[in-house]
Amino acid sequence: MDLAFDRRHIWHPYTSTLTPLTCYPVRSAKGVYLELESGEQLVDGMSSWWAAIHGYNHPVLNRAAHEQIDTLSHVMFGGITHQPAITLCQALLELAPDNLEQVFLADSGSVAVEVSLKMALQYWHAKGEPRSKFLTLRDGYHGDTFAAMSVTDPDNSMHSLYKGFLPEHIFARSPQTGFWQTWQPSDLDDFRHQLANHHQEIAAVILEPIVQGAGGMRIYHPEFLKGVRQLCDDYGVLLILDEIATGFGRTGTLFACEHAEVQPDILCVGKALTGGYMTLSATLTTRHVADTVCSGEAGCFMHGPTFMGNPLACAVASASMTLLKSGEWQTQVAGIERQFSSLLPRLKKHKKVKDVRWLGAIGVVETTTAVDMENIQAHFVEQGVWIRPFGRLIYMMPPFISEPEHIERLVMAVESALNEESCFLTQTES
């Protein structure tokens, strides 16, 4: 592999061209293992950013892709439909909260979020009451495109870089009560206050249910979400739930909103939708929102990407939905959660550790100083695992098929990194 070319010419996520970090060449992947060009096998702790829930190179997903590619890889969705899209949307509606009836397929998580925001804006426009603000939470993350970024934490996504261009929305304090802690009703005060003050200009509330992912791996109390749903109902504001990271079993329920027994008006899914095979997302909504949107001036929903409903992606996603419908994920995720709950508390005593937390197949170790990316990544590879931390967060979200020995390998590797001074920046550097 021409790694010098890669280093010189190819941008990787959030990396500098001046000081690019090492990239590890992967040759293949199977089950929970990533195989490096050198032949080393790494136990995957990331599911390729929440996506590869069934593991890599899965025979059922492979078969779906092969069969589809020999029939129809892609065709435009305007004026045309096909079985892979119909089968997938049927499966999605069967699995998703039962108030949702209409599916919009798009390319990526960020685009699903853009679509959800546009739906909310068109909804109010059609009602003859145009609104232009969104209420969201601090420490949230919704994607890297502009509208998605505008509702992402302003400090984490550096809104200051885009001042004057990026729309400005309303941010409420993020939930402070952890999932396993005793609920503190005052947690909702700021959110309630913001909604009370601004509800007439707010088209929708958008947030990540239960787990705030890339904005800090914060796992919060279901009562917060319940309160949000109630307040949205009280003020007649739409609720968009971004389940792009949490959807399809990751938190122990099929959708994280089930922990709070609430249903959104608009739901965004992506990532694990195709079992991590290719990019595809969906935005689901109610009959009422969909029909209101289309009753407005435009007469339709104003969006239609080139690769909308890509048959290849839909076929693989349908196969992934079939795997989920077997229900095995429930035992697998519950087993991973049990293991995190028995292994992680021990790490909390470590001087480098500020907090540990877990839910479903998510395990998080928050450290007191930021990691040294280059060194900690090399250390993990030496330990035979693939974990990619950021800042003060070392987190694991392994494929659901991980066996107890794999989870143990991951947690042991984290523990060994905690004991390596070179894996962390000094207090002043971080």
The contact set with ligand PMP (CB under 6 A) reads 49, 108-110, 113, 141-143, 208, 213-214, 242, 244-245, 270
Instruction: With beta carbons less than 8 A apart as the criterion, state whether 212 and 137 touch.
Output: yes
For residue 178, what are the CA distances in angstroms to 68, 173, 219? Answer: 44, 14, 6
Residue with smaller CB distance to ligand PMP, 108 or 310: 108
Q: Which residue is nearest to ligand PMP (CB)?
A: 109
| 141 belongs to the catalytic site | yes
Instruction: With beta carbons less than 8 A apart as the criterion, state whether 282 and 105 touch.
Output: yes
Q: State the catalytic residue, choosing from 33, 139, 271, 395.
A: 271
Burial (0-12, 13-18, 19+ Cβ within 10 Å), 120: buried
CB of residue 352 vs ligand PMP: minimum separation in angstroms? 26
Chain centre distance of CA 296:
31
Pairwise CA distance, residues 152 & 269, whole Å: 17
Instruction: With beta carbons less than 8 A apart as the criterion, state whether 50 and 247 touch.
Output: no
Residue with smaller CB distance to ligand PMP, 102 or 274: 274
Residue 79, C-beta contacts closer than 8 angstroms, at least 6 positions apart: none
Place of tokens 């079939």: 322
DSSP state of 41: E
Residue with smaller CB distance to ligand PMP, 55 or 109: 109
CB of residue 48 vs ligand PMP: minimum separation in angstroms? 11
Residue with smaller CB distance to ligand PMP, 110 or 177: 110
Q: State the catalytic residue, choosing from 33, 56, 141, 395.
A: 141
Instruction: With beta carbons less than 8 A apart as the criterion, state whether 224 and 175 touch.
Output: yes
Residue with smaller CB distance to ligand PMP, 143 or 363: 143
CB of residue 361 vs ligand PMP: minimum separation in angstroms? 15
Instruction: With beta carbons less than 8 A apart as the criterion, state whether 230 and 292 touch.
Output: no
Q: State the catalytic residue, choosing from 2, 14, 70, 163.
A: 14
Pairwise CA distance, residues 157 & 153, whole Å: 6
Instruction: With beta carbons less than 8 A apart as the criterion, state whether 77 and 304 touch.
Output: yes
| 242 belongs to the catalytic site | yes
CB of residue 118 vs ligand PMP: minimum separation in angstroms? 15
Residue with smaller CB distance to ligand PMP, 223 or 242: 242
Q: State the catalytic residue, choosing from 107, 139, 153, 242.
A: 242
CB of residue 94 vs ligand PMP: minimum separation in angstroms? 23
CB of residue 189 vs ligand PMP: minimum separation in angstroms? 25
Active-site residue list = 14, 141, 242, 271
